Amino acid sequence: MNALHSPCSQQSPQPPHGAPGTDDPAVVVTRISDTAWQAVQDDRVVGSGDASRRPDGRLFVSADAWHGPVFDRLVAAMAADLPEPLHTVTDETDHDTTAAWQRAGFTTVRREWGYLLPTDPQATGLGPVRPPAGVTIVPAGEAEEGPLRALDRVIHAEVEAGIGWPAMPAQVLPCPAGTTVLDPTRYAVARRGDHYVGLLRVAPVRRPRIGLLAVRADHQRLGIARALLAHALESMHRGGTTTAWADVAESNTAATALVEGIGARRAGATLELVRH
């Protein structure tokens, strides 16, 4: 099997695959780079696939094809080229796509709930929430990059030593190996004395998405996460945004209680599947 390289690297196209899954020999799948595959029929591209190595080390694949047999051939080709385990995500309501991945040997390992969070402090009840004594909130765009990256490394190490990244949201961060803070201006942080002890990242998408909310282990259960969330949602509300989005793993009961306690509405679910 071939090792996956950086998403930015390229390699010469490999010989096309003759994988099972369709009785139409005219469909040819070729690996066109380290992370991309293409299905061609009669000189037309009829499907594509790609792979991404995420910062937590998990290898995720995706495939896009109009017809089931082409999808099957694409996934078989990627599985032949890549080391397992392989991961993918689907919308829980997209039963056809989920069934197609299951046909290829993938099984569901976790569910993430998607929540719509109100931003109005009167709706969330977070208006009176303030940081605990000695803690201040540094707004997004004002955090010092060095201390922010240092806090991010500490939190990542604590997650790896504790619940592990498989229990964290299955998000894609297209960044160089070892880098998890792509844009420091997207982070609000909690500061205690000279140290950053908590962070919240908001992703710049159509609806603001809370991508990560985390507090150092030795500063948890003090109300810091709740204060960070109150600050972020109130800032969005002042900017004219009425709702934000957050993904919460079904197994994360503390996070579920936090968002549901401020009136968040469950609005979807994503499944993570894996092939060993």
| pLDDT of res. 58 | 87
Contacts 24+ apart (CB under 8 A), 186-189: 186/140, 186/211, 187/140, 187/143, 187/148, 188/137, 188/138, 188/139, 188/140, 188/143, 188/228, 188/231, 188/232, 188/235, 189/137, 189/138, 189/143, 189/147, 189/148, 189/151, 189/228
Decide if 19 contacts 73 (C-beta within 8 A): yes
Decide if 215 contacts 115 (C-beta within 8 A): no
Tokens of 213: 């909310």
Q: pLDDT (tens digit, 9 = 90+) per residue, 98-119?
A: 999 999 999 999 999 999 999 9
Among the four given CATH numbers 3.40.640.10, 3.40.30.10, 3.90.180.10, 3.40.630.30, the one describing domain 28-112: 3.40.630.30
Closest CA to 68 of 23, 43, 100, 30: 100
Q: pLDDT (tens digit, 9 = 90+) per residue, 10-69?
A: 343 444 554 444 445 588 999 999 999 999 999 999 999 999 988 678 899 999 998 999
Mean pLDDT, to the nearest integer, of 136-151?
94
| pLDDT of res. 9 | 35
CATH 3.40.630.30 range(s) for the chain read 28-112, 114-268
Decide if 190 contacts 147 (C-beta within 8 A): no
Instruction: Give the global pTM.
Output: 0.76
CATH fold label, 114-268: Aminopeptidase (3.40.630)
Residue spans of beta strands (DSSP E) within 134-186: 135-138
Q: pLDDT (tens digit, 9 = 90+) per residue, 236-257?
A: 999 999 999 999 989 888 889 9
Strand partners, 204: none
